[in-house]
Amino acid sequence: MKQWEMAKNNPDPRIRFFLGDVRDRDRLSRAFFGVNYVVHAAALKIVPSAEYDPFETVKTNIIGAMNVIDVAIDRNIEKLVALSTDKACLPINLYGGSKLVSDKLFISGNQYSRPESTKFAVVRYGNVMGSRGSIIPLFRSQISQGFVTITDERMTRFMVTLQQGIETVVLAFQDMQGGEMYVKKVPSMKIVDVVSAMDDTVELRVIGIRPGEKLHEQMISKEDAAYTFEYEDYYKIIPATVSSEIAKARTKGAKPVHDGFYYSSDQNPDWMPKDRICRWLEENESTHS
């Protein structure tokens, strides 16, 4: 249905839609024919579903990533950007663990590929506002019932608009030389403030943290700090395998982060209070409907 809707709304003859699966190498090979750039966004991403069906999650998020890397090299794709998630930083659930493996596969794909062949990079960001399985559509459906369920009143999350995510992918394509991870600077929100911005009279029901869920998310860990460089709007993590001279050449205009730095949703200097969330919802939610 999603493919059919996209094809109906995008009649441009340059756009082709393929039904397929990243688990199917032959179908990937057909889809990649004549292509220069690839954005890899396929994943099984619902945390409880990944805990219940771990084999299926591994097949898509890890084996699928390996297939994408192999076929991209075979088809001489110029550049490939893989999408990551804050769940992949210090993961405590299977989804996050599978995406961490996927990230490392794509970064290492640059050693797997020939120097003059396919370049791989990763873009990591937080929750995409209004995307399938995210909290905002869930809260919308619950508000009509007179209550909203939250797992913990202290919980915080990074939140990014679809447009911000797209802009970071474009940045990666323009800047990448192979092996970089790009982390967009985005605001943090308290989950209770999101609910209040949507309806400040609705009943809150605290149901407790689910298996594999964190109170706060990180996108850059302390262990990454030695390889992380800060720009005005984003951070760039350089592969640990490159020399200091190469790292310096790749990070012109940036400054290294301080020792022990980490980027966490509860320690983020950029916070969205309730009034700002209200404006943000009005401006951006229609984009994802």
Active-site choice (2, 45, 59, 87): 87
Closest CA relative to residue 224, chosen from 90, 44, 109, 82: 90
**In sequence order, what are the residues at sequence separation of 6 or more whose Cβ sits closer than 8 angstroms to the Cβ of residue 196?**
274
Instruction: Count the residues in the chain.
Output: 289
| Cβ-proximal residues to 44 (8 Å cutoff; 6+ apart), any chain | 50, 53, 56, 57, 60, 61, 95
Residue 1 CA neighbour count, 13 Å, CB half = 0
**Is 87 annotated in the active site?**
yes
- Looking at the annotation, which residues are catalytic? 87
